[in-house]
Structure formats: C-alpha cells, structure tokens
Amino acid sequence: MEVGDSHGAVVNKSEENDFEKKGSSDPVVYQLVRVEGDGTLVPATEDDVLQFEHFLHDEKVDLPSIEDVGHVEEFFSNDCILLKKSDLEDGSSKLKTIEHTQKSGADLEENRLQSMDDSLSPPSKCSVVHGQQPDKFLIEQGDNSIAQQNNASTETTKSTVLNDSCNAEKDKADACSRPVDDTSTEPSVSGVNSSVPDFSILQGEVRLDDLTIRELQEAFRATFGRQTTVKDKIWLKRRITMGLTNSCDVPSSGCVVKDYKIVGRDSNKDMPNTGEIPKIGLQATSLVRDQVILPGNEGDSPSSYYYHSEDQQGSSKRFKRVPIHNDEPQVILAEQSTNKRTRKPTKRYIEELSDIETHDSTGKLSSPAKRTARDEVLLKPRVVHFHEVESLGTTYPTRKDTLGGFSVHVPYVSRTRRGRPRKDFISFVDKEPFVERNGVQTAVGMMLAKEREEGNRVRKASEVPLTVNSGRGHIEAVDRKRVQNLQPNVYNAASKPKIKRGLTRKHHRAWTLCEVMKLVDGVARFGAGKWSEIRKLSFSSYSYRTSVDLKDKWRNLIRATQTQLPAQKDGVCPRKINPSIIPIPPSILLRVKELNELQSQGGGFTAPVKFSGQNSKVVQEKGSGFL
DNA sequence: CTTAGGG
DNA sequence: CCCTAAG
C-alpha cells in the first residue's frame, strides 16, 4: 500500500474479539481510519478496510493472550500507518507490504527486529523500533510497542518531538518514542520468560530511584518472578513498588520501598509529560467518542493517545482471558483509567444495545408486524440512551463500582454475563433504569424511555432471568413465563428462586388513556378474550403490554365500570383522585361497560362488534388511535 | 402460547 | 402485576 504524503493508510481495525466463548468476551471495536496528508484522521473507506481485512483474521487467530495488551497501534506521524500491533507481529511480510515505500527504514528495522526477536523468544512479536536509538529499545514479544512508548517517557530516553520530524523514517521512529503517559497501556512483561525469582534483591530497603534499569529489571524479576526487558525506569519502578507493596497507589517515581511498604517518596523526580496528559486525554476522549477528524499535526500526540485509549479499553477487557499477567496491566489500567480518563462506552456496548432491541423485537414479539412500528420508536431512544450513558460513563463494570453509584455499565455487565445469571447481579443493576430515566425526561422521552425499558426487560428475559429495580422503585421483571421455564434449569443453577421471586417484577407502567382506548377498541373489534389478537393489532407499538396485561387491564376496567361509574352517577366521588392519576373518562368507561355486557351476554361470540351503537364517538376515536 | 382467574 | 392452571 502506498504510504505517501498524499495519504497514509491506516489500519485500526474494527473487530470483535470474542475470545471468551461465553459472554464475558469483550470485543474491542476499532474504527478503521486513514490519515490524510494533512494529518487528519478520516473514516476509512471500504477499500481500506478490505486491504487490511486479512490482518484482522490473523489477529483473531494468533492472539492468544496478553499480547493483546500490547496491541498498540503504531502511529507513524504524518505519513503514517496505523497498525495494530498484532498486525505487525510475526509478519515481516506484512510489514513489507505496508512499508515498502519506506523501505530504507522499515526494512532495516525489520531485520533488526527479527534478529533481536529471535534471540529473545520464539514467538517473538516484533514491531517497529526506534531507528535512532536502537539500544534504547527492546523488543519483547507482544508488548514491545508499549514498552517502547513508555521508554519514551523515561528520563533516559529522549522523548522526542512530536511533529517537527517530518521525514518519513524519522517520523516512524518518533512515533515509537513518542511520549506516552501512564494512562496508556502499560508495558507488559513477557511473562513467559520464567526465571527464578531472586528475592534477595528485595531485602531491606530498596531505593528504586537509585537503581539502574538493569537493576530495576533485576528487582522486577525478583518481585514478580519473571524477567522483563522493559527499560522504562518509571514503569519498572512503579511495577516493582506495586509488587512489593501490593498496592496500586504507587507514584511513578521517588519511591522507597522498605519491607514491602512504601516508605517515602521524593517528589523531585519528574514525570516528563505529566502536564499535558489531561488535555490529551480529553482530546482522545472526544475523538473516540465522536469519531471526529483529528487535527493531524498538532494532534500527533493526541493521535497516539487516541489509539492508546482505544487499546486501553481493549486491554481492560482482555484481562480476563489473561490469567498469567493478572497483576500488572490489569491493575494498572484500571487504576489509571479511573484516575485520568473516563471510560467511554465501548462500541460493543452500543452494539449490544441494538442487540437488545433486536432481541426485544424478535424474541418476545413473534409477529414481525409489530416490530416495524416499534422499531421506529426504539431507534431514537437508542441514541439517546447511548449518549446518556456516555456522559455518565466512568465506571468499570465491576460490581462494586457499579454499586457505588454509576450504573452506566451495568447493562454492559449484564450483557457480558449473558446466559449466566448471578444473584447479586440484581442489586447493582438496580439503578440502570434510573439513570436512563433521568436522562430521558423529555416529552417524547417518556414514551421512548418506556419503550427502551421494555426493551431491556425483554432482553433480560431472553438472557438472564434477573430483575431490575428501577430507580423509582419499580421493578423490571423478566418475562414471567420465561422465568418459570428457566427456573428449573439455568436459573436454578445460579440463583435462588426466592430472588427471582420478589425481584422479578415487571416495571409498572401506568396505562395511558391512549392505551385504554386502544384496548377498548380492540375489545370492540375482536371481542374480549382475544387478547392476543388485540395485542398484535392494537398494541404493536407497546411491546410491554402482553396479552395478559390487556386481559388484566380489561378486567380492571370492568371493575371500574362497576364501581366508579355508579359512584359518579351518585354524584359522590368516593375519594379525591390523585391529580397525577388521570381518571378514565366516563365515556370510555361507559363503553367498556357496554362492551362487557354486550359480549358477556352475546355468549362470547367473537364476531367483532362493529355496531357499538351509541359509542360512535368513541368508536371513531379508537379508529384513529389504532392506526 | 394463549386464556382465565385468583392473588 | 404475578402466578397457575388449563386448553
């Protein structure tokens, strides 16, 4: 592919890593973008996607584990190529394809990488190395890119210019050494290198700042029992400190660890790029969120952040499937992300939202006819929902976090657990609807929100038979029937029946006048008892009204007819009616009564009662309401 | 699944 | 609304 000034191709690919067979998979979706000559990022064309498609496949296949964490896109400055690390891995051929226009640099590096890799470890995953300071870089399997980038932020490595380097080769190199703050993916250590921990090093007081990289590495090995080739002092120090203190709250430098505790820290150590981190973080955030065009040049660093950010998300998800390295990246990422950057909803989340709607339509409502109408309604809420979540999003889908406050990620969690009910899940799912509701209070919003909630409900029904307590104290329930069915098998396994019992309650929805009219209309047309029919034809847009609901409502209407109407006739209103509760207009009530009497007498003949004589007025109303 | 009815 | 029983 051409990597010229005109345009660089970029691959940042969108793919779903469904590594975990179960729901816990957390696909990271990268947006394919390309870098224009001016450095801006624009959405990739289909062609671009196609060109790199095979890489994606490769990635799925060859990425076993933690290497994923290292999937940091290489950012080649202005004329750049952005590739996911994995794309470069083990693929000198791929590299060539991509970089042939920059052969001089690329090939050299490539070769060097190869050799270095070979010496390091078998499944070496190579990547671009800084061309200027080879010795400052190390190649590790998988995570080298990260390591390199972190190197950049070390004192030892001259952190490079972001933009001023315009020649291709240099750019490439710079891309690697571009300063990266801690929030970006931490360098991972090749945990495969099993070396015997030498804890002797760790005896007594350890003043990490005084150690050389070599010593730090040694200390690292002593701490974690495996070797690292990371040369980023800061990272090493932090990591070691964390390891020794078993704490995540470790400054990047200036730590003195004594007896496995942080004794003191000097603040004079500098964190080169700390200052600009927040800003960059923000940019990255907005970038990711809006998929906006990125100011290329000045955006050099933001760009890399952008990708790091994405990667970070991916990494966090991937942790689960990386048993070995549980300690480092995981902890760190979580910590850092929390501190410095709010996590945006993953695309996966969005996709799942739409999935929900799909499930809703297909799963619960058997007739395709109804979805059309409702889907239109659902579409908007979907968007709204997303934004809401987005604005709130900050928490990680850990249960505790969610419990604490944000519920944004709750649905996310629930989805990841698709098919695996968990009892305590209920408690923190609680607030989800609340959040949503708060977000959508607009006129249309209410209706839409309802629809959406319904969607959630149905969704849950189809996956996890758990309930949700809405913010208003209402409870969303799974489809009863499903619950019943599931109880013996799936549900039983993971959760207690009692839980299901009390909590599995459908969110209460007051019947609107409109609904009532439709119901009446439906009864008039199809007859009482044809609830299914009525639901299908008259309530296609109200997915949350089941035939049972209709039946119940009708029953209540009948009762109302028998009580309320007479009362009114008496001129005595039994009790002041809550203003918020809109009394059913007598006209409708009357009609209900008539219909009821009519049909009950008529011997339940189903023939549509088209001749509701006096009700003409109401009849027309329903007619209009119906369509 | 759909209805009916009791809770 | 929920739960069940019965077509």
pLDDT above 60 for A197: no
CA-to-C1' span, A513 to C7 (A): 32
Contact A598, A609 (CB under 8 A): yes
Average of pLDDT values for A486-513?
A: 55
Predicted confidence at residue A550, as pLDDT, reads 92
pLDDT tens figures, A53-62:
343 433 333 3
The answer to whether residues A397 and A463 belong to one domain is yes
| Most confident of the following: A62-76, A161-175, A247-261 | A247-261
* Two structure tokens written together for A385: 């929902």
Residue A552's pLDDT band (cuts 50, 70, 90): very high
Q: How far from A301 is each of A129, A164, A175, A178, A404, CA to CA, in Å?
A: 18, 12, 9, 7, 34
Predicted confidence at residue A10, as pLDDT, reads 35
Domain that holds residue A166: 7-182+304-317
* CA A405, A406, A410, A411 torsion-angle sign: positive
CA-to-C1' span, A532 to B2 (A): 7
The answer to whether residues A32 and A162 belong to one domain is yes
The answer to whether residues A453 and A526 belong to one domain is no
Q: Is residue A188 part of a domain?
A: no
CA-to-C1' span, A222 to B4 (A): 73
Q: Is residue A261 part of a domain?
A: no
Q: Could you give the maximum distance between any two Cα atoms of chain A, in Å? A: 98
The answer to whether residues A498 and A536 belong to one domain is no
Which nucleotide in the DNA or RNA is closest to residue A546, CA to C1'? B2
Measured from the Cβ of residue A331, the count of other Cβ atoms closer than 10 Å reads 17
Mean pLDDT for chain A overall? 45
Q: Is A604 helix (H, G, I), strand (E, B) or coil?
A: coil
In angstroms, how far is the first alpha carbon of chain A from the final one?
A: 55
pLDDT above 50 for A188: no
The answer to whether residues A499 and A522 belong to one domain is no
pLDDT tens figures, A306-331:
333 333 333 333 333 333 333 333 33
pLDDT above 60 for A110: no
CA-to-C1' span, A477 to C5 (A): 22
More confident residue, A528 or A347: A528
Domain boundary among A471, A503, A535: A503
Q: Is residue A427 part of a domain?
A: yes
Residue A521's pLDDT band (cuts 50, 70, 90): confident
Domain boundary among A276, A295, A317: A317
Q: Specify the range with the lowest mean pLDDT, choosing from A167-176, A245-254, A443-452.
A: A167-176
pLDDT above 70 for A192: no
* Two structure tokens written together for A166: 């315009």
Domain boundary among A503, A524, A541: A503
CA-to-C1' span, A467 to B7 (A): 21
Q: Is residue A201 part of a domain?
A: no
Residues by CB within 7 A of strand C: list them. Answer: A 475, 477, 480-481, 483-484, 500-501, 504-509, 544, 548-549, 552, 556
pLDDT tens figures, A371-387:
333 333 333 333 333 33
pLDDT tens figures, A150-171:
333 333 333 333 333 333 333 3
The answer to whether residues A543 and A432 belong to one domain is no
The answer to whether residues A489 and A565 belong to one domain is no
Q: Is residue A584 part of a domain?
A: yes
The answer to whether residues A493 and A546 belong to one domain is no
Percent of chain A with pLDDT over 70: 16
The answer to whether residues A141 and A64 belong to one domain is yes
pLDDT tens figures, A265-282:
333 333 333 333 333 333
The answer to whether residues A475 and A381 belong to one domain is yes
The answer to whether residues A391 and A309 belong to one domain is no
Asked if residue A531 keeps its beta carbon closer than 7 A to nucleic acid strand B, the reply is: yes
Percent of chain A with pLDDT over 90: 1
User: Shortest CA distance to A523 belongs to which of A563, A493, A561?
Assistant: A561
* Two structure tokens written together for A390: 């987005």
Q: Is residue A282 part of a domain?
A: no
Per-position DSSP letters for A447-470, written without gaps between them: HHHHHHHHHHHHHHHHS----EE-
Contact A28, A346 (CB under 8 A): yes
Q: Is residue A275 part of a domain?
A: no
Predicted confidence at residue A40, as pLDDT, reads 45
Residue A234's pLDDT band (cuts 50, 70, 90): confident
Asked if residue A65 keeps its beta carbon closer than 7 A to nucleic acid strand B, the reply is: no
Q: Is residue A491 part of a domain?
A: yes
Average of pLDDT values for A589-618?
A: 56
Domain count for chain A, please give it.
3
CATH number at residue A563: 1.10.246.220
The answer to whether residues A478 and A565 belong to one domain is no
Predicted confidence at residue A171, as pLDDT, reads 34
